[in-house]
Structures are given as structure tokens and as C-alpha cells.
Amino acid sequence: MKKQTPLAARYASRAELDARLALALSKTKTEKKKSQLGSVKRKPVEKLARYLAISPTSCSTIRPVSAFRTRAHNLGTQVINLIDHLFVEYAPPLFLYETMLSEQGKHLVWETRRERTEQDEQRYRSWFRAVARGDSFAKAAKGELTSKEAHHFLLAPRADDIETNVVWAKARAGGLPADACDRFVRWFNPTRCDVIGSRLPYVIGFYESFWGNVRQNERDNIADFIGAAHDDESFSMRGRTLKSIRRLSLDWHRHAWGCRHFAYRNWEPALPLWETKRRGHIVRAVELSDSRALMDEGRKQKHCVATYAEACFRRDSRIASMRWFFPINGNLTESARLTIEMLPRQKQVVQVCGRNNRSADTEEQAVVRKWASEVGLTVSDWAF
């Protein structure tokens, strides 16, 4: 057998350690889920019913609860199967099932969820029933979605929530391609769209006209500016050219990172402190969990991450800071830093940028992917 070189032995040792860490993390997650849910064996209907927003004996059911059977062992799947049995003739999109679940059920199936009024819950529940019975969804959603938007809504991404997919459908009906809509709803989440209000069609129209003429990194910068600019009720995208928006965006980014007038917000971090060694450096990733930390990150990196505080507070986004250190005389000196945006619901990294919004280089991308895989995240195609 050929003897390993010291370098090969080091890589093999590191690979073995990474595999052990991944296995330990997987076991920890499994044990945590067991402690929260108990045994994963099939539960009786009486226990599954606690996860539903509507009683299984309701007059709106289409099949008797006594006839329910399932082969699933996953508790969340058992609950979805019970909803199918009781209410579904024609399968609705997965994201519409959320409105048929109790708060406990939403946490079980999706973990993160959006706060809604009872009126909104009732409206979305009527949408679910219309699709599940085979009725006209366009008629059920009339007043909020046009017929064209209603068509695209039913084709929206499964992983997003209802409000996000309403925005997705409006963007898709406005002429944006599907992949552009995926990015559009990240930039302009439902809360941001509520602020934009009746001006939203002009924003969609702008992106539909100029999407192919804007570079990927520039799209992120322009979207941050457009979102912040609409806080001024007098601002509109109507009649704006790409050249004028580029100029306004550049000017705004030169000043936004130094802003000191954001309200203080804080939230619970979801990710642990992460550390690894890479080519003589120590790399650490930490989730930023208050608006002051975001402001400090923005000043350090000279970008507008401080404006993401409200989105983080609402759990629409999460921000992590990844930092490279090298030892000098026993002290650690920072040599590089990346700011990373994640979407909690999709468990996905969607934006990575360095100082002055520079793109991550190849080595940095490799570290981000390693971190993401170890903390249970995926990396979107457009993150870099």
C-alpha cells in the first residue's frame, strides 16, 4: 500500500473529522425532534386533530374521519394526509395547506410562519377550499388577484408562504420570468410591498423592462435602493429610466451604510457560532441578532445591511457575518469579511457580498458552501 504524504494525511484526517461532525449534527437534530414530537409511529386521529385549524368532525369535510388511514410515519406528513382525507378532492399547492393548520401545526410542518389576522386566515382558507373542491380559484381570489395572477399563483414555489406567492404571482403576471420572480420576492417581501402599495406595478414594470440589461450584483444594489426609497410616499418608479435609477442607487449606497437613525430591534439567533481553519486562517461565522450589530457590519463593510433590520425582526431574513483571521504574535487580525443573507423558511443562502458589495472570490465561496452544508442550509444559484 502506497504511503500517504503528510499533506494527503492531513486532508484525510480533516475529511474524517468533517464526516464525524456532520454525523453528530444529524444525530443531535434527530434527538431534538424526537424530544419535541415523541415517537414517530403513526398517531391516532385524536392526536393529529390538535394540529388542524378545523375540527375533523366539521360539516365541511368530504369524507368520514373514521375512514382515515395513512402509511406515513413522519408526523407532519400524517397531518397533511389527514387534511387530504377530510377536505381535498383536487390537490391544492402545498403552501395553501398552512391556513388549514393550527399554530401548533404550522410550527410542526413549516417551523417558521407568518403572523396573520383571523380575517386573513379565513380568506386564505376559502382559497384552499375552492381549489380542493375544484371550484373557480380566480373567482374565490377576485379582488386581490386578477385571473392571470390567480393562474400564476397556483404555479408559485411550494416552499414560500401565501403572502410571498401573491407577490410572486403579480410579478409573473407582470412579465418577469420565473427565475426573476424568485429573486423579486426576496427583494420585495410582502411587508415591503404593503408599503409600496399601488406603486408596485411600476416597480414590476421597471424590472420587466430592464432585467436583461442589469448585472446580477447591480440588481441587488438597485433593489435595496428601490425598497428604501418607497418609504417616502411621494417616490414612484413611474417614468424612471435605468440610467436615472442607477445614479440614484449609487448615491444612496454611498450614504446608507453610515446611517444612524434606525430603531433598535433584536431577535433570537437561529444558527450557532461556527469556526474552521482554512489555509492558515481561522474562519468564523456568526449570526447578527440586533440592529446595532447590522449597523456596525454596514459601517465596516460599507454597504446597506443595516436596512435589513426590520426584515430580520419579522423573520423574513437572517444575516450572518463570516470573518477571516490570521495569527500575528499570538493575536488574531481580521483579513477579510463577508456578509451573508439567508431566507429562514427556505433555509437558503441568497446573497453573499464583501466590502463595498464586492463579490466573493472562489476560495471564499468554498468556505461559505462548507459552512452552509454544516448548519443545514442550501446555497441558491444566484447567491454569488
- Under a CB-based contact definition with an 8 Å cutoff, are residues 124 and 150 in contact? no
Query: Which residues are CB-contacts of 340 (< 8 A; sequence separation ≥ 6)?
Result: 285, 319, 320, 321, 322, 349, 351, 352, 368
End-to-end CA distance of the chain: 42
- Under a CB-based contact definition with an 8 Å cutoff, are residues 167 and 180 in contact? no
Full-model pTM = 0.71
pLDDT at 11 (0 to 100): 66
pLDDT at 148 (0 to 100): 96
pLDDT < 70: residue spans in the chain: 1-4, 6-11, 24, 28-41, 111-113, 256-262
- Residue given cell 368520514 in the structure block: 64
The per-type count for the chain, helices as H runs and strands as E runs, is 16, 6
Domain boundaries, the chain: 35-135, 274-379
Q: What is the CB neighbour count within 10 angstroms for residue 295? A: 22
pLDDT at 68 (0 to 100): 92
Instruction: Tell me the three cell numbers of residue 162.
Output: 401565501
Strands of the sheet with 274-278, listed across from one edge: 274-278, 281-288, 318-328, 331-343, 348-353, 378-379
Q: What is the CB neighbour count within 10 angstroms for residue 209? A: 13
pLDDT in tens, 33-89: 555 544 456 788 889 999 999 888 887 889 999 999 988 888 989 999 999 999 999
Helix (H) or strand (E) holding 288: strand 281-288
Q: What is the CB neighbour count within 10 angstroms for residue 97? A: 22
pLDDT in tens, 125-176: 999 999 999 999 999 999 999 999 999 999 998 878 899 999 999 999 999 9
pLDDT at 144 (0 to 100): 93
pLDDT at 257 (0 to 100): 58
- Under a CB-based contact definition with an 8 Å cutoff, are residues 285 and 276 in contact? no
Helix (H) or strand (E) holding 341: strand 331-343
What does the alpha-carbon distance between residue 98 and residue 83 come to, in Å, rounded to a whole number? 11
